[in-house]
Amino acid sequence: MATFTKINDFLEGICEQAHNLSADALTIALTNTAPGSEASNPTASGNGILTNITQISYTNYSDDLGTDRVCEGTTSNEAGGTYTLDTNNIQITASGGALATFEWLYLFNDTSTSPADQLIGVWDHGSGITLASGESATITWNASGVFTIS
C-alpha cells in the first residue's frame, strides 16, 4: 500500500484560498526520485511546487483518459466537519515502448497560478514500478477518498 504525505505548502494554500479542489484541474506527476533527494525537498515548507520534482519522461505514457494525466470525476464534500476529496482511479499503460520507472506519485493543482502548479500530496509506492510496452498499472485511491481533512 502506498503511503501518503501531505505537502506542507498545501495547507497554506487552503487557508489562503489558492485552491478550489472541486473545480481545479488536479493532475498526477510521476517520479523515481525521493522527495528528500530532490535539490529542494518538495514536501518542505516553501518548496511545494511542481518544478521542484524530477518527473519521469512521459514518452510511451498513456492512461485511460488519454495522455494528459488529469484526474477525472473529482468530487469533494464536507460532512460533520470532515472534508473529503475523491477522484476516479487512473489506469496507466506503457504504449509504444517501456515507461520510465517511477516510485512516487504527486497530485498537484494544475489550475493554480500563484505559485503555479502547487503540489497537494505525494504517495510512495515503496518500490519502483516498471511497465513494459502494453503493461498497465492502476492508481487506486483510498476507498474513503484521496484524502480527508478534519
| Span 1-58, pLDDT tens digits | 477 888 999 988 888 877 888 889 999 999 999 999 999 999 999 999 999 999 999 9
Query: Taking a C-beta distance cutoff of 8 angstroms, is the pair 24, 113 a contact?
Result: no
Tell me which residue of 47, 52, 34 sits closest to 105, measured CA to CA. Answer: 34
Separation CA 60–CA 77 (nearest Å) = 35
Tell me which residue of 2, 112, 113, 123 sits closest to 53, measured CA to CA. Answer: 123
| Span 88-115, pLDDT tens digits | 999 999 999 999 999 999 999 999 988 9
